[in-house]
A = this chain, B = another copy of it.
């Protein structure tokens, strides 16, 4: 498995902005979820696996966002995702929103996800292929 950092590119549309002329602060969580989804889809496809074990799903337990500089209409953004902690039933993921071509990030995110049973909502283990795939990718948290 490559250790290359995954990133998703997306465009800022009118729907994403607000009357301040910048991306509305909640929408970075939408962008970050798109990137996590495509990242897990990519990992799962490479392993010919479903992204979570049958009957389970991911839920977000915690989100921490630092807004350094605003994104604007028509900006092309790059959102990455890298694990900073891989446990039996939960993950911590660091995410960065960057304007394509810039090096300075606009927004930093730390997201904690848990795996739960779809019916009981109780903690469930991460699929073993996913644990094995993610554990070696984990970096130190910022």
Residue positions of A touching B, CB distance < 8 A:
11, 13-15, 17-22, 24-27, 29-30, 33-34, 37-38, 57, 59-67, 70, 72-73
Q: Which 4 pairs from chain A and chain B are nearest by CB?
A: A26-B29, A17-B19, A26-B26, A14-B18
Which residue on B lies nearest to A61, using beta carbons? B67
Q: Which of B13, B34, B66 contacts A34 (CB 8 A)?
A: B13
Query: B18 near A25 (CB under 8 angstroms)?
Result: no
For A64, give the chain B residue with the smallest CB separation: B64
Determine if A29 and B25 form an interchain contact, defined as CB atoms under 8 angstroms apart: yes
Complex alpha-carbon distance, A131 and B62, angstroms:
30
Q: Say yes or no: B65 contacts A63, CB within 8 Å.
A: yes
Question: With a CB–CB cut-off of 8 A, which chain B residues contact A30?
Answer: 13, 15, 26
A37 → B minimal CB distance (Å): 6
Query: By the criterion CB–CB under 8 Å, are B15 and A73 in contact?
Result: no
A17 to B73, CA, bound (A): 13
A111 to chain B, nearest CB (A): 9
- CB neighbours (8 Å) of A27 from chain B are 26
